[in-house]
């Protein structure tokens, strides 16, 4: 298992969205931050997200990377810190 897999397994998409200020409504929908969205079109599932407006989709690392304009590895590292995910890699392989 690598850091991406550990983060994806441990961090639910709605939780990661919340720390970015995207609060899901009762149906798990948020206004999509990737297109001009007037009604919530993005559905947050536990392990991925999907926008019915602009069809953007991905996993938790992908969402955080897009929102924060980070590289995927940076997003995974920040999420790991925020959610206290243990880095599964041996110490000498960590960045």
Strand partners, 49: 44, 58
Closer CB to Zn ion, residue 18 or residue 66?
66
Alpha-carbon span 46 to 91, nearest angstrom: 29
Binding site for Zn ion (CB under 5 A): 32, 34-35, 51, 53-54
Q: What is the CA radius of gyration of the chain?
A: 14
CB of 95 to Zn ion, least distance (A): 31
CB of 88 to Zn ion, least distance (A): 32
Closer CB to Zn ion, residue 6 or residue 51?
51
Task: Identify the residue whose tokens are 């602009």.
Answer: 54
CB of 83 to Zn ion, least distance (A): 25
Closer CB to Zn ion, residue 54 or residue 93?
54
Collapsing DSSP states into helix, strand and coil, what is residue 49? strand
Local structure of residue 63 (DSSP, 8 states): H
């Amino acid at each position: 298992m690598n850091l991406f897999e550990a983060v994806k397994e441990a961090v639910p998409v709605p939780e990661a969205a919340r720390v970015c200020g995207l609060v899901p409504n009762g149906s798990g929908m948020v206004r999509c931050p990737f297109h001009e969205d007037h009604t919530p079109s993005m559905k947050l599932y536990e392990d991925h997200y999907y926008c019915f407006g602009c069809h953007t989709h991905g996993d938790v690392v992908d969402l955080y990377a897009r929102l924060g304009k980070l590289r995927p590895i940076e997003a995974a590292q920040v999420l790991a810190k925020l959610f206290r995910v243990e880095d599964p890699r041996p110490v000498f392989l960590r960045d």
